[in-house]
Amino acid sequence: MQVLDDLWIRIAVWFRGLLESFLPPWAVQLTMDVLGILLLIVLGIVVVLAFTYMERKVIARVGDRIGPNRAGPFGIFQAIADAIKMLTKEDVTPTNADRWLFLAAPIVVIIPAVLLYAVLPFGRGMVGVDLNIAVVFVVAMGGIPILTMLMAGWASNNKYALLGAFRTVAQLISYEVPMVVALLTVVLLAGTMSTVGIVEAQASFPFALVTPVAFVVYMLAGLAELNRTPFDLLEADSEIVAGYFIEYSGMKFAMFFLAEYINLFMVAGMITTLFLAGWQWPILPSWLWFLIKVVVVIFLMMWIRATFPRFRIDQMLGFAWKALVPVSLVNLFLVALVAKVLEPGWARTGVLFVSNLALLAGAIAIMAQVARKREERARAAGEAAIKRYYGSEVR
């Protein structure tokens, strides 16, 4: 088991020894660094191939269909066939597009996505850089896609693309607030902003159990940041066709697609790291645990996508500001207070778990009350309108 646990580290050490036998030290370091970066980028592409297939299969199953089943056994080569199709498609630039920005957007979109992998702990001792401000780094890099989407949306010279970009900004900026507050809750509990430190702080209890509210808020905000259903209104097919990347084709479109799935893995990885104890948990090797948890989180997201309809834009913004932000702020105060009073252990976890559930239940009850009131008001207004039209008697 120990051998399996250290498998990748052992391979790295062995490879380093091999290089050292014929290269000077600085060249060894440079080769290892470049290889590490390449490995993360290749991982990104593998992730895309694997999860597009998984997504299509899962959504097909939920919809009582079979999904891709032609290319290879069970259709597992479907993603590769798609990739070849993308690569061979014609590369079109709209006549009145802003040539430079149009070209730059798909390149810039991939950079923050891959950069984020640097702070993700894939297993025990398997992290690109153990930054002591990793959480701030993640939040900072999360802001760059807003810029790229505006870039793509404006450069395309297409009203649907621009509308999609505007929706994105409203959505991403709104959901960044509850996301950061949920992150802050975790940082408060772990006492560190390093991703490695946060995983180690969950040795006894995963933070999803300690503070379920932060977990739920982060998950929802993560879905919004990924622009996945029910928050996919920046690419709402029936309204604005495809959103900010409508004019892109071929490899340029593939870059956006790539970035989307790399980000999906990243958000699932962050949820695993922050709330599900990362690579911890016994028996299986650490990197396998990490992978299993990430796949489970991604499956959850696909399940949500296959189940829920899309929000309207006012509902989406209202949900962020009127539901998620207050709930996460109350939770932050709650956690700060309890963490100050009680020592880490069973008592603290129990108190936080119960109070969090109460908070969640209270928030849902208030929301249901508000929704019921609104519905009643709408019905009364409707009835009044009918009365005005038909006279006193309603037929």
Partner 1 sequence: MSLPQILFLVVGVITLGAAVAVVTSRNVLHSAFLLALTFFGVAVLYVLLDTPYLAAAQVLVYIGAISVLIIFAIMLSRKVAAPHLVQRNSQWLLSLIVAVLLFGVLAYLTLQAAWPAAKQALGVDAIGGLGEAFVGTYALPFEVVSVVLLVALVGAIIIARER
Q: Is 162 in the site for partner 1 (CB under 8 A)?
A: yes
Calculate Rg over the CA atoms of the chain. Answer: 24
135-143, 241-249, 339-347, 360-368 -> range binding partner 1 (CB under 8 A): 135-143
Residues in 57-86 at the binding interface with partner 1, rule: CB under 8 A: none
For the record, the structure tokens of 286 come out as: 């650490």
Q: Find the length of the chain.
A: 395
For the record, the structure tokens of 167 come out as: 């929706």
| Residues in CB range of 369: below 8 A, 6 or more apart | none
Q: What gap in Å lies between CA 389 and CA 326, rounded to an integer?
A: 42
Binds partner 1 (CB under 8 A): choice among 151, 181, 190, 196 = 151
* Least Cβ distance, residue 150 to partner 1 (angstroms): 5
- The answer to whether 161 and 247 are in contact (CB under 8 A) is yes
* Least Cβ distance, residue 173 to partner 1 (angstroms): 7
* Least Cβ distance, residue 113 to partner 1 (angstroms): 14
| Residues in CB range of 261: below 8 A, 6 or more apart | 47, 48, 51, 52
Binds partner 1 (CB under 8 A): choice among 7, 12, 71, 101 = 101
Residue closer to partner 1 (CB basis): 50 or 136: 136
- The answer to whether 86 and 235 are in contact (CB under 8 A) is no
Binds partner 1 (CB under 8 A): choice among 43, 49, 54, 139 = 139
- The answer to whether 70 and 78 are in contact (CB under 8 A) is yes
Total Cβ atoms within 10 A of residue 376:
10
Binds partner 1 (CB under 8 A): choice among 7, 9, 43, 147 = 147
* Least Cβ distance, residue 186 to partner 1 (angstroms): 16
Q: Is 132 in the site for partner 1 (CB under 8 A)?
A: yes
* Least Cβ distance, residue 169 to partner 1 (angstroms): 6
CB-count burial class (<10 Å; 0-12, 13-18, 19+) for 203: exposed
Going residue by residue from 218 to 237, which x/- string records binding to partner 1, judged by CB under 8 A? --------------------
**β-pair partners for 126:** 123
Residues in 165-184 at the binding interface with partner 1, rule: CB under 8 A: 166, 169, 173
Residue closer to partner 1 (CB basis): 129 or 203: 129
Query: Torsion angle, CA of 27/120/145/47, rounded to 10 degrees?
Result: 90
Residues in 178-217 at the binding interface with partner 1, rule: CB under 8 A: 193
Nearest to 222 by CA among 180, 186, 258: 180
Binds partner 1 (CB under 8 A): choice among 83, 150, 184, 297 = 150
Site residues (vs partner 1, CB under 8 A): 98, 100-101, 104, 131-133, 136-137, 139-144, 146-147, 150-151, 154, 162, 166, 169, 173, 193
